Structure 1
Amino acid sequence: MWIYLGLLAALFIGLHNLCKKHAVQGNEVFPVLLGTVSSGFIFIAGFYIMSKFYPNYAAANGYQFQSISWQTHGFIFIKSAIMASSWILAYQALKHLPITIVTPIRSAGPFFTFIGAILIYNENPNALQWIGFFLIIFSMLLYSRVGKKEGIHFKRNKYIFAIIAATFLGASSGLYDKFLIQSLELNPQTLQFWFCFYTILILLVILGFTWFPYKHKRKAFKMKWSIPMVGILLQAADYFYFKALQDPEALIMLLSAIKRSQIIIAVVIGGLVFKEKNKRQKLVPLTGVLIGVFLILMSSD
């Protein structure tokens, strides 16, 4: 069951990435990020308020919110700090790079998660998992060759380094999620609510120095329909991902890889919507990524 929940998360992440690309085009990155997180928070806050007024109904429908200690709040704040850093780097990269370059690099995230799962959680890989993960990494190298045709030199482009750092931080957050969900026994909606709350506080501090004081930056910001959609779609993806992670048998290394099947939406549909170049050449390494993900899925049988 957790595998299917992971695939649902991948679907919403793919749609989320398309909306995110639209939201940052010609726009100020930090306020877009604040708008997306705030939209997601408002969405889940509706369920939070309903659970307070109608607790029995909330419990019957599976969205009751837990009371947590200050120590647990601290653990959630750490996750917010990690993901705020990851998103800031990723949004900057997404604004300046094609989505068909950014998304495949992000797909290397499972490799970092894979290593962490072995070292931290002692998850045991088999031969197919090793082959699948290294196939994904090799496919990323092929993407770098395609990127050079679009004037993107991977060794000299700062946004490439930004998206790599964002990917590493995102993978670290994924490993941390297993601790929050399984060790601290947080349910998805409680984690989502407080995670969004603390992330908004962090972003408000950053924007207080980088955006709010500058009138020309405030004027440059454009409110788009895709901004709230990014937040809502991300909350949907996170909910299914956290639900999958609640299963004691769920392996974080496999869930991380399954989520990357959203690359189909980003590369195929995104390439058509945003009319990016070299779509056919990108299908070759895309196939490698998909085969790698397929091998990982096969290894779970």
Structure 2
Amino acid sequence: MWMYLGLLAALFLGLHNLCKKHAVQGNEVFPVLLGTITSGFLILLPFFIGSVYFPEGTKELGFYITRIPWETHGFIFIKSMIMAASWILAYQALKHLPLTIVTPIRSAGPFFTFIGAILIYNETPKFLQWIGFFLIIFSVMLYSKIGKQEGIHFKRNKWIYAIIAATFLGAASGLYDKFLIQSLTLNPQTLQFWFCWYTILILLVILSITWFPYKEKRKAFKWRWTIVAVGVLLQAADYFYFKALQDPEALIMLLSAIKRSQLIIAVVIGGLVFKEQNKRKKLVPLTGILVGIFLILYS
């Protein structure tokens, strides 16, 4: 069952990436990010209020947000800091790079998760899983050659390093999620609500220095409906992902790989919508990534 929940998370993540590309085009990154997280928070806020005043009804719906100790709040705040840094780097890179270059680099995230799952959680990989992961990394290297044809030189472009760092932090957050869900026994909606709250606080501090004081930047900001869509789709994806992690048999290395099936939406549909270059050539390494994912699932 947890694998199907992972596929649902991948579906919403693919749609989320398409909306995110539209939201950041020609826009300030930090206020867009704040708008998406706030939108997701507002979706969860009625459940928090219901959990306080109508606990029985909220429990029946399956969206009860539990009370947690301050120590657990601290652990969630650490996740918020990790993901805030990852998103800031990823949004900046997405603003300056084609979606069909950014998304496959992000697909290397399962490799970092794979190593962490072995070292931290003692998850045991099989032979085909090794082949699948190295096939994914090789396919990402092919993307670097295609990127040069679009004037994107991987060694000299700072946004490439930004998206790599964002990918590493995202993988670290994924490993941390297993600790939060399984070791601290947090339910998905409780983790999502407080994670959004602390991330909003972090972003408000950043914006108070980099955006709010500057009138020109505030005027340049363009509100788009996709900002709300990004927040809603992200919460849907996270909910199914965390529900999958609640299963004690769920392997974080496989869940991370399953989520990469979002590439089908992001690369194929994204390439058509945003008219990006070399779409046919990018299908070759995309196929390699999908074969790698298949090997992991098949094994």
> What TM-score do the two structures reach when normalised by structure 2?
0.99
Q: How many Å separate the matches in 2 of 1:83 and 1:133?
A: 23
* TM-superposition CA deviations, 1:185-210 (whole Å, max 9, x none): 00000000000000000000001110
Q: How many Å separate the matches in 2 of 1:180 and 1:193?
A: 14
Does the CA-based 8 Å contact 2:47-2:65 persist in structure 1? Answer: no
Q: How many Å separate the matches in 2 of 1:278 and 1:237?
A: 29
* TM-superposition CA deviations, 1:85-107 (whole Å, max 9, x none): 00000000000000000000000
Counterpart residue type for residue 93 of structure 1: A
Shift of 1:125: 0.3
Q: Is 1:5 equivalent to 2:5 in the alignment?
A: yes
Q: Is 1:157 equivalent to 2:161 in the alignment?
A: no
Shift of 1:53: 3.1
Counterpart residue type for residue 112 of structure 1: F
State the SS of the aligned residue for 1:277: coil
State the SS of the aligned residue for 1:173: helix
- Structure 1 residue ranges without an equivalent (≥5): none
Counterpart residue type for residue 279 of structure 1: K
* Structure 1 partner of 2:197: 197
State the SS of the aligned residue for 2:56: helix
Counterpart residue type for residue 15 of structure 1: L
* Structure 2 partner of 1:226: 226
Q: How many Å separate the matches in 1 of 2:75 and 2:55?
A: 26
State the SS of the aligned residue for 1:153: coil
Counterpart residue type for residue 12 of structure 1: F
Shift of 1:50: 2.6
- Structure 2 residue ranges without an equivalent (≥5): none
Counterpart residue type for residue 285 of structure 2: P
Counterpart residue type for residue 32 of structure 1: V
Shift of 1:139: 0.2
State the SS of the aligned residue for 2:290: helix
Q: How many Å separate the matches in 1 of 2:241 and 2:88?
A: 22
* Structure 2 partner of 1:92: 92
* Structure 2 partner of 1:280: 280
Shift of 1:46: 2.0
* Structure 1 partner of 2:111: 111
Q: How many Å separate the matches in 2 of 1:52 and 1:263?
A: 39
Q: How many Å separate the matches in 1 of 2:20 and 2:47?
A: 24
* TM-superposition CA deviations, 1:244-286 (whole Å, max 9, x none): 0000000000000000100000000000000000000000000
* TM-superposition CA deviations, 1:160-218 (whole Å, max 9, x none): 00000000000000000000000000000000000000000000000111000111000
Q: How many Å separate the matches in 1 of 2:175 and 2:29?
A: 27
Q: How many Å separate the matches in 2 of 1:166 and 1:33?
A: 14
User: For the aligned residues, what is the CA RMSD?
Assistant: 0.6
* Structure 2 partner of 1:32: 32
Q: How many Å separate the matches in 2 of 1:46 and 1:170?
A: 28
* Structure 1 partner of 2:81: 81
* Structure 1 partner of 2:212: 212
Q: How many Å separate the matches in 2 of 1:295 and 1:39?
A: 37
Q: How many Å separate the matches in 2 of 1:38 and 1:140?
A: 33
Q: Is 1:49 equivalent to 2:49 in the alignment?
A: yes
* Structure 2 partner of 1:148: 148
Between the aligned residues of both structures, percent identity stands at: 80
Q: How many Å separate the matches in 1 of 2:274 and 2:54?
A: 44
Q: What is the 5 A alignment of 1:249-260? A: 249-260=249-260
> What TM-score do the two structures reach when normalised by structure 1?
0.99
* Structure 1 partner of 2:16: 16
Q: How many Å separate the matches in 2 of 1:53 and 1:298?
A: 47
State the SS of the aligned residue for 1:7: helix
Does the CA-based 8 Å contact 2:86-2:165 persist in structure 1? Answer: yes
Q: How many Å separate the matches in 2 of 1:189 and 1:167?
A: 24
State the SS of the aligned residue for 2:284: helix
Shift of 1:34: 0.5
Q: How many Å separate the matches in 2 of 1:54 and 1:298?
A: 45
* Structure 2 partner of 1:298: 298
